[in-house]
Chain A
Amino acid sequence: MSGILQILQWIKEDTPIHRLDPRSKMVWAFCVMILVIMIWDPIILTLLTLSLIPFVVLGKATSRLLIALKSMVFFTVVLVILEILYYGWFFGIIATAKFILATSIFSIFFLTTHIDDFAAALSSFGIPFEFNFVLVTSAKYIPVLFWEIQDITDAYKARGIELEKSMLQKIRSYATMLVPLIIVTTRRALTMAEAMEARAFGYQKKRTTYRQLKMHLADYFLIAISVVLSIGVIVLLYV
């Protein structure tokens, strides 16, 4: 569980990848994602995978990425079986590889981009503040929720209730543990709303965005390469 959460935790590093404007990274991720979806050729997929490596290494995201992928092992195994049943051996494995690739791209983006920068990028694309706000606040509260679930589980265990029993009892336990979580989260939401009002939320329609995004040479370069190469590959394969 925590492995997946690792994906959304921004690492406080200062690497060339972190310094890239989130918009150029979004273009890059989008292009590579399109290629992954469209292509079944194992050679090109391998090349694509290799092209991710410099991003991971330069972004110092290797260990976190591996942890995130490791946490999905169970899910991936199930997927492999299903894909193989559907597509046959060869394409089944390729389908799973495409899935892992797509997840990695997604992870690399979020491991090297601060959520506030991401929100600023969305805002520059014209997406309304309310949406961005929900996004950032949710991301902000993920670690808090994680610890709270821990505390609540601890409190439940400390009531002398043995957790490992029948499936039905397990489900009942989890349902019971949800109650305090929902209560605490709802109360928090109310306090947050009050706090936001008290800090002039809704004062006027036009808000300033403090966070500034600036595109540099490296960003234009990345966008150019991503777009050109993607179009090139697609043209080569389909024309």
Chain B
Amino acid sequence: MPVLSIENLSYAYPNAETPALNDVSLSVNKGEFVVICGPTGAGKTTFCRCILGLIPHFFGGDMSGKVIVLDTDTRDIQPSRLAAKVGLVFQNPEDQLIAMSVEEELAFGLENLGLPRDEIKKRIDESLNLVNIVELRDRPPSELSSGQQQKVAIAAVLAMNPEILVLDEPTSMIDPKSALDITQFLNKLNKERGVTVIVAEHRLENLVSFADKIVVINKGCIVQTGSPREVFASDNLLEIGVAIPRIIQLASRLKKAGIKIDNLPLTVEEAFSILRRAL
């Protein structure tokens, strides 16, 4: 059951010389964990905005093709209406937070939805617990580290109970430990709660072992789609500017040199077993 269906999507920002997206098509099923990768400027952020309906409604511009989210065409619905079912977490942790306390931040989206007060309270409690930031409840977001801020942003979006969670380079501006926490959390969210996760990312190392599907974008076009092992078997990704995790690069090189590598390793554990067998 596709929760997201993109058909021949092309888009150019207002006054832009070149299109940001060129005839892109993609289908995402319920409960999938999709990673979108590609160099800066490839169109990852634009892609995320299209899923939320921010393109075309918020940004204007020239859009053709279709984006169907949960059986709704994004052109027929305002982004604020889609926001109840699809959440978006932005790259810059601080700039997406608007309230004076974490509690208020989580309440914001729920207030917008017009939910009754006790429901809001319940969801705030749940979300703080889910993301493991209960102790941050009364803190002003401006006092938090960027990693903590990003967790707050995620909690604020999850409080709205979206079916699909879209994240646009959520870890590129935060410290590695928080990045790891968040990555592992996304996996838990996806596997235990069935939330469809779509992440645009550069740091692929700890992420790819969780992904069902990798989508490689370059210059507005989808260059490749497939399972992690399928996608990373191709040679040209590094040239495009996709940071293939180093243990995978190592395994590929060894395979080409004739070493018996059964499979491309997605985790350190796998890499170790594979090498042990090969040596």
Direct A–B touching, Cβ under 8 Å: yes
Residues of A within 8 A of B115 (CB): 208
**What is the CB-to-nearest-CB distance from A117 to chain B, in angstroms, rounded to a whole number?**
10
**What is the CB-to-nearest-CB distance from B23 to chain A, in angstroms, rounded to a whole number?**
25
A144-B142, A211-B104, A212-B117 known; A201 vs B90 contact (CB < 8 Å): no
Q: B80 touching A203 by the CB < 8 A rule?
A: yes
Residues of A within 8 A of B84 (CB): 200, 203
- Cα separation A179 to B104 with both chains bound (whole Å): 32
B272 CB within 8 Å of chain A: no
Q: A116 touching B83 by the CB < 8 A rule?
A: no
Q: A210 touching B113 by the CB < 8 A rule?
A: no
8 A Cβ contacts from A140-156 to B: 140-141, 143-144
Partner of B98 from the list A196, A202, A209 (CB cut-off 8 Å) is: A196
Q: Closest residue of chain A to B94, judged by CB? A: A144
Residues of A within 8 A of B101 (CB): 116
Q: B81 touching A191 by the CB < 8 A rule?
A: no
Residues of B within 8 A of A209 (CB): 111
Residues of A within 8 A of B80 (CB): 197, 200-203
Residues of A within 8 A of B225 (CB): none
**What is the CB-to-nearest-CB distance from B78 to chain A, in angstroms, rounded to a whole number?**
7
Q: A199 touching B108 by the CB < 8 A rule?
A: yes
Residues of B within 8 A of A10 (CB): 100
B14 CB within 8 Å of chain A: no
Q: A203 touching B98 by the CB < 8 A rule?
A: no
Q: B54 touching A198 by the CB < 8 A rule?
A: yes
- Cα separation A136 to B104 with both chains bound (whole Å): 11
A93 CB within 8 Å of chain B: no
Residues of B within 8 A of A198 (CB): 52, 54, 79, 83, 87-88, 157
B114 CB within 8 Å of chain A: yes
A199-B160, A203-B81, A203-B112 known; A139 vs B88 contact (CB < 8 Å): no
B107 CB within 8 Å of chain A: yes
Q: B114 touching A139 by the CB < 8 A rule?
A: no
Q: A197 touching B99 by the CB < 8 A rule?
A: no
Pick from B78, B101, B120, B121 the residue with the most CB of A within 10 Å.
Answer: B101
- Cα separation A20 to B116 with both chains bound (whole Å): 25
User: Between A and B, how many residue pairs show CB distances below 8 Å?
Assistant: 114
Q: How many residues of B sit at the interface, in one of the four size bands? A: 35 or more
A159 CB within 8 Å of chain B: no
- Cα separation A214 to B226 with both chains bound (whole Å): 57
B69 CB within 8 Å of chain A: no
A116-B104, A207-B114, A208-B117 known; A199 vs B83 contact (CB < 8 Å): yes
Interface 1/0 per residue, A170-207 and B, CB below 8 Å: 00000000000000000110011111111111111011
Residues of B within 8 A of A200 (CB): 80-81, 83-84, 109, 112-113, 160
B194 CB within 8 Å of chain A: no
- Cα separation A212 to B114 with both chains bound (whole Å): 15
B138 CB within 8 Å of chain A: yes
A114 CB within 8 Å of chain B: yes
8 A Cβ contacts from B114-168 to A: 114-117, 120-121, 138, 140-142, 156-157, 160
A115 CB within 8 Å of chain B: yes
- Cα separation A59 to B107 with both chains bound (whole Å): 28
Pick from B54, B98, B107, B110 the residue with the most CB of A within 10 Å.
Answer: B98
**What is the CB-to-nearest-CB distance from B259 to chain A, in angstroms, rounded to a whole number?**
47
A169 CB within 8 Å of chain B: no
Pick from B58, B95, B115 the residue with the most CB of A within 10 Å.
Answer: B95
Q: Closest residue of chain A to B97, judged by CB? A: A195
B249 CB within 8 Å of chain A: no
B8 CB within 8 Å of chain A: no
- Cα separation A26 to B240 with both chains bound (whole Å): 61
**What is the CB-to-nearest-CB distance from A83 to chain B, in angstroms, rounded to a whole number?**
37
- Cα separation A114 to B108 with both chains bound (whole Å): 17
Q: Which 9 A-B pairs have the closest CB atoms?
A: A199-B109, A195-B96, A200-B83, A210-B107, A191-B95, A200-B112, A198-B88, A203-B80, A202-B80
Beyond A198-B88, A199-B108: 14 further Cβ-contacts under 8 Å?
A: A116-B99, A136-B99, A139-B100, A140-B140, A195-B95, A197-B52, A197-B79, A197-B80, A198-B87, A199-B156, A202-B80, A203-B84, A203-B114, A208-B117
Can you name 11 A-B pairs with beta carbons within 8 Å?
Answer: A114-B100, A116-B99, A116-B100, A140-B140, A191-B90, A191-B95, A192-B98, A197-B83, A198-B87, A203-B113, A210-B104
